[in-house]
Structure 1
Amino acid sequence: MSSSSNKLEEVTIATQPIFTGKVISLQVDTVQLPNGKTSTREIVKHPGAVAVLAIKDGRMLLVDQYRQAMGRTELEIPAGKLEAGEDPLDAAKRELEEETGYRPRSIRRLHSFYTSPGFADEIIHLYVTEDLEEGQYAPDEDEFLHNIEVTLDEAWDLIANGRISDAKTIMAVQAWQLYHLTGKFGYDNE
């Protein structure tokens, strides 16, 4: 397999920074293609993020938040970006408590996945917890959130009517459904 992958590899010749912001940066890479020709790739750089499937008394914790890029509110699982050098597990615990007021007594990683590998390097580390205790609700100063708790059936209804439409939350609902059917949250052995 590696010999086939090597035949597909692109070699970066040059990188031109375009924009550096609070959350992302944008660069344009000039690459040499496998056939020797060159092309450009617009790349969004992101520090990575975490998301938490938190289940309390058989209900999933969701955050309702206005999303400017979408022009509307979106129901999502608690999530947030990694700070520089931050361990994803620590970030998951921090984000869950900040956004919901619950602290996980135990938590584990389900999966890590790239959100849009065609143009971005953002990776999200998805965690799950069913063991929560009261913590300190403390959203960021520019975060305005409303918390709700939903059953699995309600989550599917919210997906069907478009109130949940982001990949990380849909993936979390599917993992929760799999847990209901098999006792496992995916490829884990518990």
Structure 2
Amino acid sequence: MKNPWTTLTTTVPYDNPWISVEHNEVLNPAGNPGIYGVVRFKNQAIGIVPIDEDGYTYLVGQYRFATGRYEWEIPEGGCPVGTDPLATAQRELKEETGLVAEHWTQLMDFYLSNSVTDEYGVAYVARGLRQEAAEPEDTEELKLKRVPLQEAIDMTLDGRIKDALSVLALQRVGLLGARPI
């Protein structure tokens, strides 16, 4: 489909290693002048739902600076655009939980907030888990919690898990149920 927006000018008033912010002078679909701001991400969002042989999954708890809240989430990380998302998922799972998985399946891909950002994400299911030592980054102070998979899904329904990537991935696993992933 043809883009109904016309971009007249684009400036980047803010740029750092993770994001840039664009200010666009535009003509909107009706032909009227306007502005459109876009946050451009330099990483893809990666999430992993690890499921062990007993039907449990692993959640990571951490304080999130941007929201000012402590949150429980699936293991997550950032994959530099243009690099292999699966390799990033494998690294992030090990870093945050110490888990190494034998089997990986892509669960879904998605845009997290496509009205104002281009943040793209990929989620995986990891199985055949073995425990090794976690290797968190110095920006991470993490707690690990092993919970029944259904409890984690319930946490997305009752608001104990609010992180969008976690909600999407866990509910997708719940919707697929017994179907092979």
| Shorter-chain TM-score above 0.5 | yes
Of 147, 162, 167, the residue aligned with 1:170 is 167
Q: Distance in 1 between matches of 2:73 and 2:19?
A: 20
Q: Looking at both structures, which has the greater relative contact order when contacts are Cα pairs under 8 Å and sequence separation is at least 6?
A: 2
Query: Would you say 1:49 and 2:37 are equivalent positions?
Result: no
Q: 1:26 aligns to what? A: 21
On the 8 A contact 1:152/1:176 being kept in 2, the answer is no
**1:3-152 counterparts in 2 under 5 A?**
5-6=1-2, 9-47=4-42, 48-56=44-52, 57-83=54-80, 85-152=82-149
Contact preservation (8 Å) 2:152, 2:170: yes
Query: Relative to total residues, which structure has the larger strand share, 1 or 2?
Result: 2
- SS of the counterpart of 1:98? helix
Aligned residues: 179
Q: Unaligned 5+ residue runs, structure 2?
A: none
- Which piece of structure 1 moves more, 19-28 or 41-50? 19-28
Letter in 1 for 2:105: R
Q: CA offsets per residue over residues 132-159 of structure 1, 9 Å max, x none?
A: 2234411111111001111133224433
SS in 1 for 2:145: strand
The one-letter code of the counterpart of 1:81 is: G
Instruction: Give the TM-score of the pair, scaled to structure 1.
Output: 0.86
Q: In the alignment, is the contact (CA less than 8 A) between 1:49 and 1:81 conserved in 2?
A: yes
In terms of mean alpha carbon deviation, does 93-102 or 169-178 score higher?
A: 169-178
Matched letter for residue 18 of structure 2: V
Q: Which moved more, 1:119-128 or 1:47-56?
A: 47-56
Q: Is contact 2:150-2:174 (8 Å) kept?
A: no
Identity within the alignment, % = 35
Once residues 65 and 21 of structure 2 are traced to their aligned partners in structure 1, the CA distance between those partners, rounded to angstroms, is 19
Q: Which amino acid letter does the alignment assign opposite residue 27 of structure 2?
A: Q
Q: Secondary structure at the match of 2:77?
A: strand
Deviation at 1:84, TM superposition (A): 5.0
Provide the residue aligned with 1:188 in structure 2: none
Aligned structure 1 segments of 4 or more residues deviating by more than 6 angstroms: none
RMSD of aligned alpha carbons: 1.8
Deviation at 1:175, TM superposition (A): 2.0
- Superposition TM-score, scaled by structure 2 size: 0.89
